[in-house]
Structure 1
Amino acid sequence: MPVTASSVQQEHPVLGAGFEALSRQDPEIADVILGEMGREATGLQLIAAENFCSPAVLAALGSPLANKYAEGYPGARHHGGCELVDVAERIAIDRAATLFGAEHANVQPHSGSAAVLAAYAALLRPGDTVLAMGLPYGGHLTHGSPANFSGRWFNFIGYGVDHESGLIDYEQVRLLARTHRPRAIVVGSIAYPRHPDYAYFREIADEVGAYLIADAAHPIGLVAGGAAPTPVPYADVVCATTHKVLRGPRGGMLLCGAELAERIDRAVFPFTQGGAQMHSVAAKAVAFGEAAAPAFSTYTHQVVANARALADALAAEDFAVTTGGTDTHLITADPAPLGAEGRTARGLLAAAGMVVDCCALPYGDERGIRLGTAAVTTQGMREPEMARIAELFALALRGEGRKVAAEVRDLAGNFPPYPA
């Protein structure tokens, strides 16, 4: 029987009713989509920033709401015909504020970086001093990279981690804050696997008269499920993404108190963005609704349990796991004891069907690997699978990639991301 768009859609209903039309009109792009679905379904997606959206989120993303131009905010748009998208955005705002216990939510940022840019625009002026985790220790590009707007527009001072434990050096944070008197302190990272002490950061910020900005792009999904502490009561502004553990569409959001609501909204539109992507805003609303269900709490706690199991299993395979483990979905590790530097390890693992990132390691020139358990947990994997994944990592780095690739395909095939 020939493979047709209709047969593919029957096998993969998540593609939606429009896929047959796409296949007829643009088979090249249809083939890319099918190829990506095959890649996702036959390998292990272990990038810490990735997950699988639910079919409902994908349906909202592919809806006619993509047609609507909607500069402004509900009830105050610069375009007509926004009555229905106003409803969608109000739902998203209300759900986000309720889910995270915030007085105000802005759901329009196109990305996590756009959310951080808006937070800086609302609270800072060019040239202000900002204290944030240094890039070698897990800080993000928006935390002062010279290649990024943050490093060009502001004077960033980087704090680090203890040389032995790999944990945030809180005394260094306090000393740097007292010395440099920053206008803002940023708490958050992309490669730190432990929970930051938000209350301690709040104390330091109050001592030096600084705003506290929480960049919670990675842990916000765990926060939604009660599997991580919330920064909302402590931070003046919380920046976050709506994908990663949260399982929503790619995008950002901001949470703040009522006193900063107008400044935050004006920093998003009109200062840093134009019209909101209303299909994405609606998809965010769907994700917030899903995250409020009891099943999502169960999911996030399993994400953490899987990450801890995977970290322990990697350590047993001689990987040097930073901080000795994890509190979150995220693990960073040095593969050097197995004879591979981070970039090399990433390539060997990818060749065997296991996709990870590489990252900087504190106090060294070499790079490690960064991985997460959100996507494989969405697929239904649990602790036994984490132990086997660690074994497959070690085998791949020890030169048995071809054998590992076959087992990875079998393992992934038992846990399809979108069951037919």
Structure 2
Amino acid sequence: MDILFEDTAIKPVVDNLVFRLHYRYTYIFFLAATLLTTLYDAIGDQIDCLTDVDSDSFNDVVNSYCFIMGTFTVDRLHGLQVGQQVPHPGVGPPEVQDSITYHTYYQWVPFVLFMQGVMFYVPHWLWKLSEGGLFRHIIQNLSIRDYLGENLGRYFKKEERFRALAKYLKRTMNGHRTWAYKFFFCELLNLGVVVATLFFTDWFLGGEFLTYGTRVFAVAGLDPENRTDPMSYVFPRMAKCTFKSFGPSGTIQVRDAMCLIAINIINEKIYLFLWVWLVLLTALTSLWMVYRLLTILLPPFRKQLLKLRVDKSVRGSLQEVLRGASLSDWLLLYSLGKNMERRVFSEFIIFLHLELTSFPGVPKDPEEELKQQLLREDFIRPEKPKERERTKRVKAYA
């Protein structure tokens, strides 16, 4: 029987969907993006520059130099018609008064994406480190939800577990404040990480990331030949590079190379997806922190949330339980309710209520109280007409 419940038990958790969006999904997205930016074999060389020198070794040096030192585009030439006025967006001879945008981030993209992904996992890691498995130890095997169906009588020694957990909560009332405050801090840290990621990425891409997605979607329906693609401005596929070397006579020769940056074909798609995801994640996390603030400041709101986790007939007992409960006690009870099946949690509230209201020397019988609660009409499954008629016959016979 113990083996059965070990197999069917759901791993108990205190966190929520928004929390998991950070350390589970966003973390994986950034690691996947890191992997994609290193798949050079799928797109060819990282960078390929055109020069007037017919030498493979010289061209390799120019390619390495331009990839490490960066390329540039002319801002004035981005609005001109491609194929007639300029060969590529932003590519052309600059004038003295022209402003030039240098692109030097290529070799840093995989490292930045990896570190940002790790940062999204840090709040979860800090929470698990500080929590130390406390909640999992408290709930033990009571986190079984739907595997048993309605046949909860098979639940192995749940009354004993209820009694032990109720005694523990009575003994440690108001004793989990540090535990709760650490959880709230990690939730706030999630918001800090996603906001910091947005602004750091904007700085990393030269101040172009915060409005990147809106500008891309704004021109999505326009004619490709008569529009300035924001992706080509932030992640140019063609750019210029100036390489200086000594000539045969020792004079400095300046070569103006035009470079194909194949890796930007992947970068532009990655950062467009990350822009959409980070904006949505920031909005969801901000709304969740507003919800968390309401649960901290409004005790009646907390009570209503917990009442939704129990059956109606137990809400009176729950009201008594919450009378002297603190914010940390509510968080612990609410987490228990999320990890228990509704009826199991309702039964536990009865045990907890009796434990909190019992006096020394005047013991109460939780099983008897539980039976009385289960007999209430709004607590048990409504009988069908045939079953109701059969019950009347049995009572008449008795």
- TM bucket (normalised to shorter chain) is under 0.3
Bigger helix fraction? 2
Bigger strand fraction? 1
* Max Rg structure: 2
